[in-house]
Structure 1
Amino acid sequence: MKTPVQGAGGVLFNLEGKVLLIRDRQGYWCFPKGHLDEGESLEQAALREVEEETGIQATVRAPLSVTRYRNNKGIEREIHWFLMEGQGKIRLEKGLHGAGFFDLTEARRLLAFPEDVGLLEEASRHVQAPNFGID
């Protein structure tokens, strides 16, 4: 049995409530996500990944659910997600094709992976909660 690969990711909203998506190296729209570096917490890894891939500085607002899946090489992945808030000029990591903030309807249409759509729905509920604090 293979050991799950643990990673971290974020569903990042700007102050207008729009969500940040990236277009990855295969051309799929998704949320920024990646692996843990040695000694990092899941929260630190999520923040680092967002900044490295997009240049956006984010703040973690709330933890979300965990996505577990097996990729086409049989490796189990476990992504721990965080709801984030951030804004700034997007600067893409080399190899990414695009990134931007989209309203929720457009983001749902663009997302390439069903588990990401589910996480966006969950994140949307957090954003609509009175304690999220979008001004």
Structure 2
Amino acid sequence: MEIPYHKLSAGAIIRDKFDHILLIKNKTRGWEYPGGFVNNNESVQDGAIREVEEETGIQVKIIDLIGIYQIKQESSCHFLFLANPISGQLQSDDESEDIGYFTMEEALNMISNKIFLERVLHSSNENQWPYLYINK
């Protein structure tokens, strides 16, 4: 019997006190919310918090689960959280060219990657949380 292998990732929609969301500009994918792979022996929440800090320089508090996104063909699963900034200073890392807070309208116009765009749209409708998406 073959032991399954899955890729697990987590990210966060971070809202400031003005309800703007934090985006980073990835060198290859363009504008997106911060996130990345969850390490071995790390919870998905801790993975999201760590990735946000690595990519943005800020510490966040997880507020809610927005959705779970499974892509069966890639054996991958992504957890998307809502988070609030609690400390730190915005700074980009090696993977990103730019960083900033934007209105939802601005963010939707800036994000060119279809997957990130759909997930940010899901984040704007709290009545549908937690959202479950399974790519068949």
| Fold match (TM-score > 0.5) | yes
| Number of equivalent positions | 124
**Counterpart in the other structure of 2:62:** 60
Q: Structure 1 vs Structure 2: percent identity of aligned residues? A: 24
Letter in 1 for 2:98: G
- 1:26-81 per-residue CA deviation (whole Å, 9 max, x = no partner) reads 151111111111211100000110001110111111001112337xxx74431111
**Is contact 1:53-1:93 (8 Å) kept?**
yes
Letter in 2 for 1:116: F
Residue 124 of structure 2 aligns to a residue whose secondary structure is helix
Letter in 2 for 1:114: K
Distance 1:24 1:76 in 2: 23
Q: CA deviation at 1:6?
A: 0.9
Q: TM-score, normalised by structure 2?
A: 0.80
- Structure 2 matches for 1:107-126, cutoff 5 A? 107-126=107-126
Structure 1: state its 5+ residue gaps: 128-135
Residue 106 of structure 2 aligns to a residue whose secondary structure is helix
**Is contact 2:29-2:113 (8 Å) kept?**
no
Distance 1:3 1:106 in 2: 37
Calculate the aligned-residue CA RMSD, in Å.
2.3
